[in-house]
Structure 1
Amino acid sequence: MEASKPLQTTAGDACGPEEEAKKMAAAAQDVNHLTDIRLVVLGWRWPGKSLTGNTILGREEFHLERAAEFCVKRQADVGARQVTVVDTPGWFSTQDTPASYKQELVRGASLCPPGPHAFLLVIPVGMFTEVDRVRIEEHVSLFGEQVWKHTIVVFTWADVLRTISIERYIRREGKELQWVLEKCKKRYFVINNSIPLFEEHPQVGHLLKKVEKMVAEEEGHYNLEVEKKSLEENKNAAKEVRDLGARPKQNSGLDLSKTKEVESLSSE
């Protein structure tokens, strides 16, 4: 009977705990990796919204000087991914947003079927008020309640903080801003839009990985068709409540005739 030969190993097979951990981390990243990423950018007019879209794509695709009334969709290869960005009409800070703008805003999600992987809610660093919170809720809720699970807050103009950290800024602004972040499951990102577009932007890759992680955690992208159905059901339910409230009480005609009889008897 032949003695069993010892199992031969190569240098590549042997690895310590650190190498094994690195391999597992790389494998996890590969699982989350998306070959294409679809983004919809939301926010006020002039908060750095269009500029953020340009930063992500690495070139000037959205004209900063235009006051957008319509959605604009652009694509570019970013790293090993094809990235689609939809820039939406910005809403006003104090004025009511026209209904046509709101309709166009919602249409942005349909421009990247079957639905965007993430909504990037662009908020410029500065004083954040209750009015700002209400305006965000008013416009983001147009996409349905589930939209918050697929939303990342992107802070722009953070250079004004100088030595103040973004965490301290969030605490300083109080419950209004913290409410928004709670709705987004505290997903936020700080982006520097001052780096020239022709240079490789170190933050864009990190932002896209954050999007991939969110998609993995939420088990998919924002489903436009499901949300449309949900919004329509809510609208119909609200209409039924209004109709029920407007109906006259039962037997109201009988009660009215009895009242007339009493009036008739009292006059005799």
Structure 2
Amino acid sequence: METKRPLQTTADDVPDPEEEEKKAAAAARVANRLSELRLVLLGWRWPGKSLTGNTILGREEFRLERAAEFCVKRQTEVEGRQVTVVDTPGWFSAQDTPPSYQQEIVRGASLCPPGPHAFLLVIPVGMFSEVDRARIEEHVSLLGERIWRHTIVVFTWAEVLRNISIERYIRREGKDLQWVLEKCKRRYFVINNCVFGQHPQLGRLMERVEKIVAEEGGFYNPEEVEEKKKPLDENQNPAENKVKEGRELGARPKQNSALALAKPMEVDPPLSE
């Protein structure tokens, strides 16, 4: 009886692990790709926050010459995606942030309904102190603990590092910066704001945002922001109070207030090119 010889395998038959990994990554990008992305910028004054928004949009839409007091929303198309960017007022590093600014920061999340896919927490490369960490915690917490699940730290001014890697910089800055990165699951991105137009980094940044959406199961819902419990009015029952709280979620400006009068600023059409 004739015995069957075992089939011989060649090098071409053995799958290349590196090639397989590339194929899997490409398939994941296709599966995660969104036709629309909604982003909110957070950070203190002058860290390159508005400049980062301009880099994403590919043109100067957010004014850099003065500190903004109100949220501003702009839209454009980036690599076939409709991208909405909301720039929020920057908080102060050495003094208390006015309540009106805090309200605007919270309101920023409601300006791109049904909710942002990601918050970009802009941090300039440099000395990062315990005070910086405390200010970030103070202002990010205005939007609830769940915001950290949708946050990416975006490092600006990284060119000052020269030959130092961003990983080495993070280790060098110690526990305060480490705390921030751990809160957002060590999601961070380094952006070069000196390039406009067809920016080589934007595709990777958009993929990072899409990965967050895939991992966290969707977008951040501003209606889930927990308000501090308020005492009931003696003539108001709990059910009525709950309805009132629902209307006030998102800290929208009250009628006839300075914020309400300035509200049209958020829907200005993009600057003409």
TM-score of the two chains, using structure 1 as the length reference: 0.78
* Aligned twin of 2:212: 214
* Aligned twin of 2:181: 181
Deviation at 1:31, TM superposition (A): 1.2
Q: Structure 1 unaligned segments of length 5 or more: list them.
A: 1-14, 241-268
Q: How does 1:221-236 map to 2 (within 5 A)?
A: 221-225=219-223, 227-228=224-225, 231-232=226-227, 235-236=228-229
Provide the C-alpha distance between the structure 2 equivalents of 1:26 and 1:188, rounded to a whole number of angstroms.
Answer: 21
Provide the C-alpha distance between the structure 1 equivalents of 2:58 and 2:21, rounded to a whole number of angstroms.
Answer: 33
| Superposed CA offset, 1:147-185 (max 9, x none) | 000000000000000111101110111000000000000
Deviation at 1:215, TM superposition (A): 0.8
Matched, 1:205 2:203: yes
Provide the C-alpha distance between the structure 1 equivalents of 2:22 and 2:160, rounded to a whole number of angstroms.
Answer: 37
| Superposed CA offset, 1:96-149 (max 9, x none) | 000000001100000001110000000000000000000000000000000000
Provide the C-alpha distance between the structure 2 equivalents of 1:192 and 1:33, rounded to a whole number of angstroms.
Answer: 23
**Secondary structure of 1:213 counterpart:** helix
* Aligned twin of 1:249: none
Question: What is the letter of the counterpart of residue 141 of structure 1?
Answer: S
Provide the C-alpha distance between the structure 2 equivalents of 1:45 and 1:79, rounded to a whole number of angstroms.
Answer: 29
Provide the C-alpha distance between the structure 2 equivalents of 1:101 and 1:21, rounded to a whole number of angstroms.
Answer: 46
**Secondary structure of 1:222 counterpart:** coil
Provide the C-alpha distance between the structure 2 equivalents of 1:20 and 1:138, rounded to a whole number of angstroms.
Answer: 44
Question: What is the letter of the counterpart of residue 170 of structure 2?
Answer: I
**Secondary structure of 1:66 counterpart:** coil
Q: Which of the two has higher C-alpha Rg? A: 1
Structure with more contact order per residue of length (Cα contacts < 8 Å, sep ≥ 6)? 2
**Secondary structure of 1:155 counterpart:** strand
Count of residues paired in the alignment? 218
Matched, 1:162 2:162: yes
* Aligned twin of 2:84: 84
Deviation at 1:28, TM superposition (A): 1.9
Q: Which protein has the bigger helix share?
A: 1
Question: What is the letter of the counterpart of residue 87 of structure 1?
Answer: D
**Secondary structure of 2:201 counterpart:** helix
**Secondary structure of 2:54 counterpart:** helix
> What CA RMSD, in Å, does the superposition of the two structures yield over aligned residues?
1.7
Deviation at 1:43, TM superposition (A): 0.3
Q: How does 1:12-31 map to 2 (within 5 A)?
A: 17=15, 23-31=23-31
Q: Structure 2 unaligned segments of length 5 or more: list them.
A: 1-12, 233-273
* Aligned twin of 2:46: 46
Deviation at 1:20, TM superposition (A): 6.5
Provide the C-alpha distance between the structure 1 equivalents of 2:25 and 2:14, rounded to a whole number of angstroms.
Answer: 14
**Secondary structure of 1:209 counterpart:** helix
Question: What is the letter of the counterpart of residue 70 of structure 2?
Answer: F
* Aligned twin of 1:121: 121
Question: What is the letter of the counterpart of residue 105 of structure 1?
Answer: I
Identity of aligned residues (%): 76
Question: What is the letter of the counterpart of residue 212 of structure 2?
Answer: M
Deviation at 1:25, TM superposition (A): 3.5
TM-score of the two chains, using structure 2 as the length reference: 0.76
Provide the C-alpha distance between the structure 2 equivalents of 1:60 and 1:193, rounded to a whole number of angstroms.
Answer: 11
* Aligned twin of 2:153: 153
